[in-house]
Amino acid sequence: MDYNNKLVLAPMVRVGTLPLRLLAAEYGADITYGEEIIDHKLVKCDRIVNDYLGTIDVVEKGTQNVVFRTCPEEQSRVVFQMGTSDAVRALKAAQLVCNDVAAVDINMGCPRSFSISGGMGAALLSKPETIHDILTTLKRNLITPVTCKIRLLKISHYTVELARQIEKTGVSALAVHGRKVPDRPRDPAKWNEIADVVAALSIPVIANGDVFDYEDIQHIKNATGASSIMVARGALWNASVFSPKGKLPWEEVKKEYVRKSILWDNEVKSTKHTLKEMIMHHSCLELPEGKAVIKSETLADLAKLYGEEEYFQFVNENR
């Protein structure tokens, strides 16, 4: 896994499932992160080869609930992101998926109360010993590359010092979200503080924050000196943001997302959530399209809504 000069799809909860990852890769993303999955959930799962779809599914024991789905097509670029606060549990969870992904990443930046209350996500930023324990344990026991993603600390010097400690664990790369824990998405990303981290490290740094067009990729590279660039909301709203030819019309990208959701039998709740996020950025959920997505109960309903009934029928007849 080479982290130099790459375009990266960021991990996004309920969004970064197989269809969006493959869509982003189709448009130019070199590396695609899955949504964060908590180790507590993962250790209660089984790895199942799904011959019907041609996928590898991580499924909750005793249920049909697919926690993570991947396929051979993306094995060389997909990163499995995990939420954890314990090295032993993290290793047990990682061992379930490590042979099917290109790398394992530890989330150290999520500011949600659920993560922080469990000692995960951004809570780890103030626990360098726990960070060291988790990352070194994974590095010692996995052949798969290990990385992590952090947020900025209150003072830039503190972020740099933490990044240096992380580098010493032997991780292959470090992703830095240019916002602090209290910051909200509307607050501008602090590219200058990412630049401080880049200047201090020898491993690749992946810069994340406020990339909405292909032109922004070069701007953040120039501002930070980062080796690679990670895109979150910009890719959610239009995955063709990764294309050097410029973004395609949103309607075209949206329909292709629906087709990929049908092809890979993505959970309808996940597909609807992603579509609603797309719609809210471009228009309004109160308009007919938004209302129809909300009312949809199956992928067949969504196929009909977006004029993909024939494709839905073809896929299901030819699996």
Residues labelled catalytic: 110
Neighbours of 77 (CB within 10 A): 21
> What DSSP element (H or E) covers 175?
strand 173-180
Name the 3-class secondary structure at 84.
Answer: coil
Give the residue from 167, 165, 193, 166 showing the smallest Cα distance to 179. Answer: 193
Give the CA radius of gyration of the chain: 19
* Nearest Cα to Cα of residue 41 among 102, 82, 100, 91: 82
CB 96 within 8 A of CB 70: no
CA angle 149, 190, 232 (to 5 degrees): 50
b/e burial code for range 99-108 (CB count within 10 A of at least 16 → b): ebbbbbbbbb
Residue type, 187: D
Buried b (16+ CB within 10 A) or exposed e, 166-205: bbebebbbbbbbbbbbebeeeeebbbebbbbbbeebebbb
